[in-house]
Structure 1
Amino acid sequence: MSMLKINDLRSYLKNKSNQELIKEIVELSKQFPVVKEYYRTKVDPDFEIEIFEKYKKIIQDEFFHYKGFGKLKYSNINKAIRDFKKISKNSKLIAELMISYSELGVEFMIEYGDVDERLYNNILRSYINALDYIFKNGLEEKCKDRMNHIREDVVGVDWEFGDNMSEVYYEYFSNFDNEDE
């Protein structure tokens, strides 16, 4: 099955009246919660914080579920971040969500000790993804202390993992620190 081409979609939409377009968007909002959330943030910008908290809670629950031990479904965590990126264009909130993933992962490691290789790999990947996003969006100054705090927290959990996190941190921030001088 082939994907819908944007030009075909545009042609389809151009043939619709305003009333038909409104009806179609309302239907999409009813069928797809992400579409509803997207438009809600357009209508009510303050709702963006509420939506952010919802997605942050999804991530928290994967690590520390209110009913006990989290499920640690990395696909749910990554989906929450992807979905929020589709809804929000606020780079600070997106970075905050990505950093939260790393922070919660490290907190989980500290709480439960040596878990498994997959957890280490996922947390390291989330840390790198957050740093990539932070640097692409010019948020280095705002996020540097938190990213360093995450790095410092893992040193006591596992030496090799701590070394890996430190290496990544300094790879990103060594040039940033040199620019400040």
Structure 2
Amino acid sequence: MALLKLNQLKKELKQLEQNELIQLISEMYKINKDVQQYLSNKFIGEEAIKDLYERTKKIVRDEFFPERGFAKMRLGVARDAISTFKKLSSDEGKTIDLMLYFVETGTKFTNTYGDIEEKFYNSMVSMYNKVVNECNKSEGFYNIFKDRLYSIVGDTDGIGWGYHDDICAIYYSLDWLEEDEEDE
């Protein structure tokens, strides 16, 4: 597959007139939903990002608890939706919130319907670990999400496949916990 390299693209774009650039971007907007969302985020701003956030949250929820029918539990669909949100919005806080929501909803699902296979729990643990890593980088994010992070520890108690043990180990690796304990 022959693709244009970024530096070649820039060279070609520099040769276009403004009206040609507008036409090209308009065509891209018409044929690609991600381009539509990206440009909406860029020009409309927070309102468009909030709308994308709500739609992404619904995609995650519907994989576990759809309004009608049975859960499909396509974890890849939910994870991809979060990844797309991250790329299109560049909103770290809302991305972390969605990642944590994925784990909370998956945990609620297994507490509601019973034990799932190991692959399911590995996906939950992986996402939880990503959230903790982001919180370790930022005390601000830790302060925003610490209660939800801790709630998951309790909510996983009694779940098999080592899920609870893995969640506990990750939670207690949080750098900010020691500071919280010192403050008490």
In the superposition, the TM-score normalised over structure 2's length comes to 0.90
Match of 2:112 in 1: 111
Unaligned runs of 5+ in 1: none
Match of 1:177 in 2: 177
In the superposition, the TM-score normalised over structure 1's length comes to 0.91
Distance in 2 between the 1:137 and 1:7 partners? 34
Correspondence list, 1:52-67, <5 A: 52-67=53-68
Choose from 132, 141, 144 the match for 1:142: 144
Unaligned runs of 5+ in 2: none
Rate the CA distance shift 1:112–1:137 in 2: closer, same or farther, 3 A: same
Match of 1:126 in 2: 127
Match of 1:29 in 2: 29
Q: Provide Cα deviations, 1:61-93, integer angstroms capped at 9, x if missing partner.
A: 111112222111122112101110111122111
2:16 is paired with a residue whose SS is coil
Deviation at residue 3 of structure 1 after TM alignment: 4.5
Match of 2:12 in 1: 12
Match of 1:69 in 2: 70
- 2:144 counterpart letter in structure 1: K
1:68 is paired with a residue whose SS is coil
- 2:36 counterpart letter in structure 1: K
Distance in 1 between the 2:132 and 2:2 partners? 35
What is the Cα-based RMSD across aligned positions, in Å?
A: 1.6
- 2:156 counterpart letter in structure 1: V
- 2:14 counterpart letter in structure 1: K
Distance in 2 between the 1:151 and 1:4 partners? 48
Q: Which stretches of structure 1, 4 residues or longer, exceed 6 Å deviation after superposition?
A: none
Distance in 2 between the 1:4 and 1:74 partners? 33
- 2:77 counterpart letter in structure 1: N
Match of 2:153 in 1: 151
Distance in 2 between the 1:124 and 1:3 partners? 37
Q: Provide Cα deviations, 1:42-63, integer angstroms capped at 9, x if missing partner.
A: 2212121111000111111111
Correspondence list, 1:75-114, <5 A: 75-114=76-115
Give me the identity figure in percent: 33
Distance in 2 between the 1:47 and 1:41 partners? 5
